[in-house]
Amino acid sequence: MGLFENRKIEGITKRVLNLFSESAKDAHPKEFAAGMREIDGIISELIMVPGTVSGPRSAILKLRTLPVDFSIVGVIHSHPSSSYNPSRGDMITFGKYGRLHIIMGYPYNLDSWQAYDNTGKKVDLDIIE
């Protein structure tokens, strides 16, 4: 296995999902967005991106401000609507940055989110207690 080979991401901690859920609720009706760090195949941390601009239809992350860190695997963001399907803009971001993305729609709970790979294909993740 090469140094930068993509390891399969199998899950996300319930703690991270709950933290994201509360952050999305606080930001509502604007979008909330953050980076995600993977540790041993599990999304285990949210990474706040300096200079992020949140609005009612999008969140703009200044991804160039992030350090080169191969454990940061993608972006998690909220949709103020109840939809957690990717928009056209989301698909562009998916293709440019990272290999895993999560969208959580209103009401921002453990039943209103979906993970996607960098092509927009749905990915199933286990929730790790």
Q: Which residues are catalytic?
A: 31
Phi, psi of 96 (to 5 degrees): -100, -25
Which helix (H) or strand (E) element contains residue 113? strand 113-117
Name which of 30, 37, 31 is nearest 70 in CA terms.
37
End-to-end CA distance of the chain: 29
